[in-house]
Amino acid sequence: MLDVAGHVAEPRGPEYSGEERRITQRHPYDRPIRLVLFAENGSLTRPLNVQGKDLSGSGIGVVGRCMIHPGREGAMRLLRSDGEAVVVGVKAVRCRYVGQMMHETGFRFVPLTAALTPQDFEPDHRD
């Protein structure tokens, strides 16, 4: 897995002229992910379970049951290839319904705007 915490995206060369808008290479990331979203008042939502799809130096694609509107910010707890958990800030840039009550959401990595602990990603933390 890419080290997303310190990775600088390498853009594709000028010879790339396809319709693809991504400028960084994607890598499979088929792992469960815990996601929290930030409410307008700064509070956190309950942790959501989503499934990783792909990952690049600039963002991540996930699939889950929630429609997450573009512009919504939050944080994810990801596992690095060495097993260490890292928390990264994310912002939804696209979301589309893919059938069977599932949505595919693309997130861009952004600076983390809140201090989060691993407990913030546990399901019973807010009960």
Average confidence (pLDDT) per 10 residues, the chain, 127 residues? 43 46 81 92 90 95 96 92 90 96 97 81 64
Query: What pLDDT sits at residue 125?
Result: 53
**Could you tell me if 89 and 115 are in contact, meaning their C-beta atoms sit under 8 angstroms apart?**
no
CATH of 27-121, picked from 2.170.120.12, 3.40.50.720, 2.60.120.10, 2.40.10.220, is 2.40.10.220
Query: What pLDDT sits at residue 74?
Result: 95
**Could you tell me if 102 and 48 are in contact, meaning their C-beta atoms sit under 8 angstroms apart?**
no
Measure the CA–CA gap between 54 and 61, rounded to whole angstroms.
Answer: 5
Measure the CA–CA gap between 122 and 104, rounded to whole angstroms.
Answer: 23
pLDDT, tens digit, 9 for 90 and up, residues 51-77: 999 999 999 999 999 999 999 999 999
Query: What pLDDT sits at residue 8?
Result: 37
What is the DSSP code (8-state) at residue 119?
G
Measure the CA–CA gap between 69 and 94, rounded to whole angstroms.
Answer: 7
What is the DSSP code (8-state) at residue 38?
B
Query: What pLDDT sits at residue 114?
Result: 79
Query: What pLDDT sits at residue 19?
Result: 52
Say which amino acid occupies 25. Answer: Q
Domain boundary assignment for the chain:
27-121
pLDDT, tens digit, 9 for 90 and up, residues 94-103: 999 999 999 9
Measure the CA–CA gap between 106 and 93, rounded to whole angstroms.
Answer: 6
Query: What pLDDT sits at residue 20?
Result: 54
